[in-house]
Amino acid sequence: MKYIKLNTNESPFPPSPHVAERISGEEARLNLYPDPACSELAAAAAAALGVGPENLIFTNGSDELLNFAFLAFCDAERGIVFPDITYGLYPVLCEMYGIPYRKIPVGADFGINPQDFFGIGQNVVIANPNAPTGLVLSVSDIELIVRENPGRVVIVDEAYIAFGGESCVGLIKKYDNLLVARTFSKSHSLAGARLGMGIGSAELIGYLNKVKYSFNPYSINRITLLAGLAAFEDENYYIENCKEVIATRERVKAEIRALGFTVTDSKANFLFAKSDRIGGRKLYDKLRQCGVLVRHFDVPGISDYNRITIGSKSQMEAFLDAVRNIINDREIIK
Ligand SMILES: *Cc1c(COP(=O)(O)O)cnc(C)c1O
């Protein structure tokens, strides 16, 4: 069966046609190592973000950046805190490195209370928008968390920032303890190329570079370097795609609300929703039988929910048809 993949938050759009133009011919240079400093890409990113190249590091996906950051800034004494409902990689990295961690409960509505993260005495990582809820904190709330944790690193994971939230990148000039993590996987249609970016003070970036150069200075290959550069050169293409994803998200949200779903106010490229008629795991299984893959988390507090990536218009029509058929089936008992 060919599944409709709404389970890993990839973009339904191909990369910009400019990516193919940029990488064409590069295969003939694959005998040469790539530029470990990613200089050309850094110059383009610096211009686009209004920061200096010394404020940037590029990694093999933002998961690699998070890996480097946990290794560089956390240890057995200096642990890290994060919301109890968030991206699954954070506790995985803590377990791997023996980093002590604490989960701070989100509210009943899954909202993060910034004050819970003040003066924490540990490093902090927050996905903004959060995953899998899609809920966003304002830049002023993020600023308070950064300001109230001097001498501690606050990592803001902006994997989904292009879908409606406001980036806190501008704060890196004011606070040397802020690290912003970005990925080209979701909004920039490059999940398969593996490209992530860290933005922070030259001091933080310096520590991260030490880790990167120890592991593998060449973690970004020549093709990906050019694909990333092309992404910056064709930013309007991605802005338009994100607009379409946002419009589709709002339409699908209204449709499933009308079908009795509770849906968070997601500012990401996914919805997080539970039905009043069918349990989360059961809906996941039934959708799968209909050829639609969504993401279910077998985690206390959110097991009634599913995370649904916003795909193309036709993929979302297929999803809605499947949902209508499933919840109108009288056999279903919650
Ligand atoms: C997808 C995702 C990432 C990592 O993406 P990469 O493909 O490794 O760049 C990081 N953080 C969050 C919250 C994500 O959802």
Quick one: CATH architecture of 17-233? 3-Layer(aba) Sandwich (3.40)
Closest residue by Cα to residue 153 from 55, 64, 72, 60? 72
Contact 271, 253 (CB under 8 A): yes
Q: Roughly how many angstroms between the first and final C-alpha of the chain, as a whole number?
A: 27
**Mean predicted confidence (pLDDT) in 187-208:** 98
Could you tell me what percent of the chain has a pLDDT over 70? 99
Cα(228) to centroid(ligand 1), Å: 16
Alpha-helix runs per DSSP H in the chain? 17-23, 39-49, 61-73, 89-97, 139-147, 202-215, 222-233, 235-258, 280-289, 313-327
Closest residue by Cα to residue 64 from 269, 221, 295? 221
The pLDDT tens digits for 50-88 are: 999 999 999 999 999 999 999 999 999 999 999 999 999
Pairwise CA distance, residues 204 & 152, whole Å:
11
Tell whether the model's pLDDT for residue 113 goes beyond 80: yes
Q: Is 304's C-beta closer than 6 angstroms to any atom of ligand 1?
A: no
Domain parsing of the chain, residue ranges:
4-10+236-328, 17-233
The pLDDT tens digits for 240-252 are: 999 999 999 999 9
The pLDDT tens digits for 166-181 are: 999 999 999 999 999 9
Identify the DSSP state of 185. Answer: S
Cα(101) to centroid(ligand 1), Å: 20
The pLDDT tens digits for 269-328 are: 999 999 999 999 999 999 999 999 999 999 999 999 999 999 999 999 999 999 999 998
Q: Is 234's C-beta closer than 6 angstroms to any atom of ligand 1?
A: no
The pTM assigned to this predicted structure is: 0.97
Tell whether the model's pLDDT for residue 334 goes beyond 70: no
Quick one: CATH architecture of 4-10+236-328? Alpha-Beta Complex (3.90)
pLDDT recorded at residue 332 = 60
Q: Is 159's C-beta closer than 6 angstroms to any atom of ligand 1?
A: yes
pLDDT recorded at residue 331 = 61
Q: Which atom of ligand 1 is nearest to the CA of 62?
A: 9
Chain centroid, CA 228 distance in Å: 17
Contact 235, 19 (CB under 8 A): no
